[in-house]
Structure 1
Amino acid sequence: MSSRGVNNLRFNQDHGCFSCAMESGVRIYNVDPLAEKLRLGIESVGSVSQVEMLQRTNLLAVVGGGAMPKFAENAVLLLDDSQRDMQKKLVMEITVSQPVLGVRLWRKREVEQKSFISLIVVLRNQICVFGIYSDDPQSAKHLVTLDTRDNPKGLCEVSPASDRPILAYLGHKRGSLQLFQKMNFLGQIGQYVESQWGLASFTVAAECACICAFGPHSSVIAVCVDGSFHKYVFTPDGNCNREAYDVYLDLGDDLEF
């Protein structure tokens, strides 16, 4: 946990927003321009260890954690912030057997005019995927479980444009990439292809955990757990400059929620 109470940071899928899981609840920010869009206080969600937003929708996946959790660390809650009261915000709760290390939400495709969404739950020794229809989340069903005990910290992504869920899992061997579709092994890459390094160098606060993403017009956004926000621009010849700096946690403090 950071000194500002930030437990976890995540960009949404188009990098236009980022979510902040905190000891004091949940905050959602727009990237460009930087602005606070949502604040759920500790009275509503307690302290939170993980939060993930679905693109630019009102659907959030939240996992309890920290010093004053309202929800268990092995439960994933789907919240719909378009509703006004907390009872309506709680759309669905999924409880698993182990503490949740991470969550991801993906909009998959349109099926008979319904938006199909996948919820990925990362546990210590496995990754679970649930299929969800946004107009009826209660019908969610478990699609697949991957055994990841060889590398419990492996990186997992989902193809956003397939007829059936495809998982890409970065395994424990260097450069090992496995694709899964309903537990069918599709391929593996055992080594890196030609690489180039050192195009540009960016410096943020020392010893401060950050997340980063590419922005428009050759820019890189860095969001740090100390509450700082950085935007850098770079050129093909390696020149880079910090174009913007702000403290996102100070935004919205004078607003009423």
Structure 2
Amino acid sequence: MSDDRKILSVKFNQDHECFTCSMESGVRIYNVEPLVEKAHFDIETVGSISQCEMLFRTNILAMVAGGLRPKFFDNDLRIYDDVKKKFVLDIYFPSAIKAVRMTNNRIVVACLTQIHVFSFPTPTERLFTLETRENLRGLCEITPLISGEQQILVFPGHKIGSVQLVDLSCNEIGVSSAPVWIQAHKSEIGCLALNQQGTLLATASQQGTLIRVWDTISKHLLVELRRGSDPATIQCINFSRDSEYLCCSSDKGTVHIFAVKKTTLNRRMSLASGILGKYGESQWALTNFTVPPESACICAFGPGNTIYAICLDGTFHKYKFTDEGNCSREAFDIFLDVGDDDEEDFM
């Protein structure tokens, strides 16, 4: 793949109806259903971009530079307004930006050892900064919907395998307030996800064999799901909009789909659990599909038991699954070759 077509990252927006494609040659924005290009920002406008976060389906984009031809530094968060066709806000940090999350009222920026929370859109001011353990992947998630039952921020806690939860309805985190955390795994956290309402948290460790789903209010473990028996790097976890299902993708090139609420749909080992112990009692995926060739990808649910996989090799996969565990491909495309729909914006 030429440098101009090299993809550095892909990211769904908060309702999974669009995704951003950050490239050596700029940024592209795509609608998922139907698959069309909605916007294209070339290298002369934005430079090489390592990550881009949409604010739902609005004209606001958060961009972090990276790659071979950046126009600004990787510790400079820039907010682009597609209506004004220019960057409208710069926020500088003491170290490189690892991840950005946005909602209608907050911007969250993860750096190597800090999480910064800002009000948004006006006035944009830093509300607080939290110290974290080393967070190379910038793991952090925020409740997508302000109308959700609670707006929380989650990120790896100071203790290995723990996840810290912060209530974002509070503008100031008191120094004396005890942190709220869940001891989710024995090894380092590898991936995090929140459902749309902020009531469920999914965690995986860097081992990548298990996904655990927690109640964010009671902090209790609800279900443990087994991706596989061999270690893997889990690249993405997402809940369906109704929180009935959960999907995950890994560097094994497989997307797994689990039932979260009706867990009897998940597969179990055919051997007696007494022989294999806890391993034999594991809940395995309801169904799965493989992305050929094995490629890093993100996954998310669409309407009517459909699921999408967006891969760094530029491929788009759409599958439909049933509660009986059947899974069939409905669409395949090379999204880099998909044209636009002649609309002026993506709102």
Smaller-chain TM-score range? 0.7 to 0.9
Note the C-alpha offset of 1:145. Answer: 1.6
Identity score, percent? 48
1:229 corresponds to? 316
**Partner of residue 146 from structure 1, selected from 110, 130, 138:** 130
Alignment of structure 1 residues 80-159 onto 2, 5 Å: 80-83=81-84, 85=85, 89-107=86-104, 117-133=105-121, 136=122, 139-153=123-137, 155-159=139-143
The aligned runs of 1:108-257 (5 Å cut-off) are 117-133=105-121, 136=122, 139-153=123-137, 155-159=139-143, 160-161=145-146, 166-171=152-157, 173-174=160-161, 176-181=162-167, 182-183=172-173, 184-185=177-178, 187-191=180-184, 192=212, 193=221, 194-195=223-224, 196-252=283-339
Offset of residue 150 of structure 1: 4.6
Alpha carbons 1:2, 1:225 under 8 Å: kept: no
- Provide the secondary structure at the position in 2 that maps to 1:47: strand
Alpha carbons 2:37, 2:340 under 8 Å: kept? no
TM-score, normalising length from structure 2? 0.63
SS of equivalent residue, structure 1 residue 44: helix
Q: 1:119 to 1:55 in 2, by over 3 A?
A: same
CA distance, structure 2, for counterparts of residue 23 and residue 220 of structure 1: 27
1:195-229 Cα deviation digits (max 9, x unpaired)? 33221011002331101101111111000011000
Distance 1:164 1:245 in 2: 37
* SS class of match (2:68): strand
Question: What do residues 51-102 of structure 1 show as CA deviations (whole Å, max 9, x unaligned)?
Answer: 111000010001111100011111010011012x4xxx21100011111111
Structure with larger Rg? 2
Judge conservation of contact 2:99–2:139 (CA < 8 Å) in 1: no
CA distance in 2, matches of 1:216, 1:2: 34
Structure 1 residues 59, 223: closer, same or farther in 2, change over 3 A?
Answer: same
Matched, 1:65 2:66: yes
- What is the Cα deviation at residue 168 of structure 1? 1.9
Could you tell me how far apart the structure 1 residues matched to 2:30 and 2:82 are?
A: 14
Corresponding residue SS for 1:43: helix
SS of equivalent to 2:287? coil
Q: Which has the higher strand share?
A: 1
- Which structure 1 residue ranges, 4+ long, deviate > 4 Å from structure 2? 162-165, 253-257
Q: Which residue of 1 aligns with 2:34?
A: 33
Q: Residues 156 and 2 (structure 1 numbering): CA distance in 2 closer, same or farther, change over 3 Å?
A: farther
Normalised by the length of structure 1, the TM-score is 0.84
Q: Which runs of 5+ in 1 are unaligned?
A: 108-116
Q: Which residue of 1 aligns with 2:204?
A: none
Q: Distance in 1 between matches of 2:334 and 2:38?
A: 15
AA at the equivalent of 2:152 = I
Q: Is the 8 A contact 1:2 1:226 kept in 2?
A: no
Q: Secondary structure at the match of 2:107?
A: strand
Structural RMSD (CA): 2.6
Number of aligned residues: 239
User: Matched residues in 1 for 2:2 and 2:319: separation?
Assistant: 23
CA contact (8 A) 1:126 1:152 kept: no
In structure 2, the residue matched to 1:110 is none
